[in-house]
Each structure stands twice: as C-alpha cells, then as structure tokens.
Amino acid sequence: MATNDADDAECAGDGGVERVVAAIEEVARRAVEFARASRRVDSAEQLELVETQAAEVGDQLFRVLLAYTLQRAVSDPAVESAARELVMTVKRQLRSNGRQAVSVRTSRGGRVEVETPYYRERSRKGRQRRPGLYPALAVLGIWDRCTPKLASDVSCAVAMLGSLAEAAAQLGQQSIDLDVKTVRAIAYRYAARARSVQASEGFHWGESVAGRRVVVSLDGGRIRVRRKKRGPKTRKGRSRFHADWREPKLLILYVVAPDGRPCQSWAPVIDGTLRGPEAIFGLLRCYAKQLGLASVDKVLFVADGAPWIWTRIEALIAELGLQPQQILMLVDFYHAAKQLSDAIKHRRWSAQRRSRWLNKYRQRLRRGDVDSVISALKPLCRGRNAKVMATCIGYFVKNHERFAYLRMRRLRLPMGSGAMESAIRRVVNLRIQGASIYWLPENVDSILMLRSFYKANRWKTLQVMATASKVAAL
C-alpha cells in the first residue's frame, strides 16, 4: 500500500475541487481493493501488518484533504490580508519573492506541498541573509514547516521523555522521522514563541484566582551547564568544556480547597528560569497580574528562609496592592526544623539527648513559639561552633513573624512547601539533572518551560500561547 506524497499534494495543490474529488475517489478505490483482498489473519504479526496497511490508506486520504484545506486557507483573502499586516510588523526589511512551493510536515508523519507567498530579507551585498518568511503559514500557526499539531506533539515528547534522543525515537514509532537536531529546534522554538506571548498584555488565561485561597512558593534546584574551555580539542576531536553547577529557580502557584488540600479542579501553575531571582519574580509578577492575584481571599507565600525570596516578595506585595488581611507569609516548617537539626549536630551529646532536644523544640516551633526556640539556642552559642549557632539564631530572628504554623492549621492551609519540592523533583531532577547531563545555558529556560507546563497538566495553555505568536521567531 505504498503512497506518493508528491502526487497527493499535486492533486490538491491548485485548490481545484475536481482534482480533490478525483484523488479521494482514487483513495476510495484503493480502500475497496484493500477490503476485497482475501487475507487470513491468524496471528498477532499478521494483524499488525493489516493495521499498518489500513493506516496507510487512511493517511493517503488525510494528506489529500489536508493539502486541499491548507491551499485554500493560504489563498483566503482574510489570511492574505493578515499576512500582509504581519510583514509590516516585522522589524527587518522584507521584500516579496513571489509564490513558492513549500513542503509542510504533518502530525501523521508525511508531508503536503502548498504554494504560498514568500518574503526574503533585503540585505547589503556581502552580508549574510537571514531566513525569509512565509507570512500566510505564520498566520495559520505553521512555523519551521510543521503544522501546529506536529510542533505540539514534538515539544510534548521532549518535555515528557528523558532525552531528545528518546523523543526522536518515540516519534519515529509514530512514523514521524525527525533527527535529534530537528526535534531540538522545533521544541525550543515552540517554547520561545510561547514565552514571547506569555508576557504580552494581550494574552489572557481565561481563568482567575479571584476569591480563592492561593499558595505561592519559590525555590531552586541544581543542574550543570556547559561553558567552553580554552585549549586544544580532545583526541577524539571534541571541544573541551567546564561543567559548572547552576541553580534554576522554580515557582508554583496553586489553589487550596476548603479541606486544605490542593484544589483538583484548578491545575497549578509551574514555571522556571535559569536567569536569576529577578527573572523568576518577573514570571511570578506576570502570572499574578494575569490570574488576578490581587483579588484573592488569602494568598500564602511559603518558602525557605532565603533572603532573595523574602525581600522580593515584599516588593511584589506592594506592587500588586495586596491588603494586609489577604497576606500570609510562612517559612517552610521542614526547612526550619532542619535548621534546628543542623544547629546541634556538632554538639557532643548522646543520640538520646539530641533526639529529646529536637523533639521538644520542634513541637514548640510547630506551635509558633519561636522565642522559646531562640532562647534555647543562645546558651549553645559558644565554642568552636559558635559561628554556626549564631547563623542559626539569626535565621529565626530575621524570620520571626513567619513561623505561624498554628494559625495555618486553623485556616487549613499548608505549613510546608511540599508542592514546591515535588515540582523541583519532577521538573528538574527527573528531566534536567542527572549524571553526565550538561546543558547550554540558553537552552535551559526552554526545557524548563516545556517540562513545567507538561507536569502541571497545562499543555493546552502552552499550545494557545505558542500558536498565538506571530513574529516571535523572526
């Protein structure tokens, strides 16, 4: 049941209904021949062969209909008008190069050909010309010569699986033959388009957290990035590089149900970046404004005691105009308990005494009795470990108002950042961090965004953002 993509595309290429009808009749004839062919199926192997042959017949019809529909779409006056407006918005100078035939990859693994206007860059003599633009295809969400569904499927495979090679292999099993380099380019550009739309004022999520109880948490993970090293290449001809540890920062925003658990009907928002504290708070600011965080019933900011978080949270609260009765701030209980454990681990106490002391002051900390904890730590601030103990005391003093665990239990709100720790594990540790995995810094934000939206069950939102982009890749 072999097929010829070029023939199928030619049948529908000029948009002629007669040719499309003839092509459909030809596919129907092949389908009838397939149905009438005598074949006996008595094994799993034979059944798999029949499935493959039947799918090929269906794919022939798919290509005919898609090529016809796509050719009509790029010739539609509304699309042509939008394409001309798009060309006008591009910052670099473009000039028309007429109509050209372009092959578009589809989500079924084949290609269809369509004739569409092409614009190329005006450049000075001797200067390298950048890629041109098919504006009508861009209006229809076709970038990198891939249909929107194919770009989404490729990007989802990259987010879901453990490596680009695994993603390419999985797509190959679906008859989508792409090499690793192409898979990487499609996925990272998909994320770049979504990111460009995300911060725009014209994009709306279509949902709000107004009147709800919301938890916001931030933290960082650990990954290794590649940095070029000077000197000769290795014996195998590979470039040498440094593998530096960097901290990608993540945020999570989710709604809490009346019973204190995360609301199952409202998917969380997870996102991350490698570009530092200002960048992650820029993302948080964007989400807060688009989701209406200023209109919540309660918003709980929970994190560890890192100063880079709390100083910026206070600035964000002032910028959003949140009222004091809406705001709750909390240091994660389990980070605070670890501070107690670290403070006394160098004391020459027996295991039993250390355990009794920790249990006693963890319980007091859980009740919010921070003064008692500080009073217990001060007499221990002496000897060779006095500096470590002083740092621990400073931790509790600086965050004195952020240990209201008893109040959190009464309000049925979490007193820890377990959701954040889970997000770091699922987004960073299980996909980006690992033995012999080194990232180029410019690629980290793309994979973080793809993985975060996939794990937050918000892939549909990412699709909307990526297809809404018109000039992000130019």
pLDDT per residue as tens, the chain (474 positions): 334 444 444 444 444 788 888 888 888 998 898 888 867 888 998 888 888 888 888 999 999 999 999 999 999 999 999 999 888 888 777 888 889 999 999 999 889 999 999 988 876 665 666 778 899 999 999 999 999 999 999 999 999 999 999 999 999 999 899 999 999 999 999 999 999 888 776 677 888 999 999 999 999 999 999 988 888 888 888 888 889 999 999 999 999 999 999 999 999 999 999 999 999 999 999 999 999 999 999 999 999 989 999 999 999 999 999 999 999 999 999 999 999 998 888 888 999 999 999 999 999 999 999 999 999 999 988 888 788 889 999 999 999 999 999 999 999 999 999 999 999 999 999 999 988 899 999 999 999 999 999 999 999 999 999 988 665 444
Contact by Cβ (8 Å): 426, 419: no
What gap in Å lies between CA 306 and CA 360, rounded to an integer? 25
pTM of the model: 0.89
- Please give the helix or strand (H or E) that residue 140 lies within, else none: none
Q: What is the pLDDT of residue 34?
A: 85
Residue 466 backbone zone (phi > 0: left; psi -120 to 50: alpha; other: beta): alpha
Q: What is the pLDDT of residue 434?
A: 85
CA 39 to chain centroid, in Å, comes to 47
How many CB atoms within 10 Å of residue 48? 11
Per-residue tokens: 474? 């130019």
Per-residue tokens: 214? 């919301």
Strands 298-303, 213-220: pairing kind: parallel
The three-class DSSP label of residue 300 is strand
Contact by Cβ (8 Å): 266, 281: no
For residue 95, with 0-12 CB atoms within 10 Å meaning exposed, 13-18 middle and 19 or more buried, which class applies? Answer: exposed
Residue 9 backbone zone (phi > 0: left; psi -120 to 50: alpha; other: beta): alpha
Q: What is the pLDDT of residue 308?
A: 93
- Please give the helix or strand (H or E) that residue 67 lies within, else none: helix 44-74
Residue position matching structure tokens 């600011």: 285
The three-class DSSP label of residue 202 is coil
Please name the amino acid found at residue 38: S
